[in-house]
Amino acid sequence: MTVIQRPKAYRIDSYEQFMAHLAQARDDQELTWAEIGQRAGCYLQQAHNWVNGGAECRARRLFDLAHALGYDLALIPREDAP
């Protein structure tokens, strides 16, 4: 019997929670800030500041950071969210 696993989904209710999740993903993947910056198309200091609360980033950069860490963002109606 083959077990099909659903991808992990995260319900994130705040900007801070989103950034904390990205910081944890970076730690889990053992990536450097330089690698994240390169993947996200920004300077490593910018990525570090955004994820660690030194500055807030624009919505476009949220997608870039998520993609750099192997995630996609989705809008799901609240009634359908896990």
CATH number at residue 33: 1.10.260.40
Our measurement of the distance from residue 21's CA atom to the centroid of its chain's CA atoms, rounded to an integer in Å, reads 6
Residue 34: CB atoms within 10 Å: 13
Where is pLDDT greater, at 3 or 60?
Answer: 60
pLDDT for 7 equals: 58
Tell me the pTM: 0.74
**Structural domain of residue 47, as residue ranges?**
15-71
**pLDDT value of position 54:** 85
The total of structural domains in the chain comes to: 1
Kindly report, residue by residue over 15-56, the tens digit of the pLDDT.
888 888 888 888 999 998 889 889 999 988 888 888 888 888
- 67: three-class secondary structure by DSSP: helix
Residue 28 lies in a domain: yes
Query: Is residue 31 situated within a structural domain?
Result: yes
pLDDT for 51: 83
Task: Select the more confidently predicted residue: 2 or 44.
Answer: 44
Residue 77 lies in a domain: no
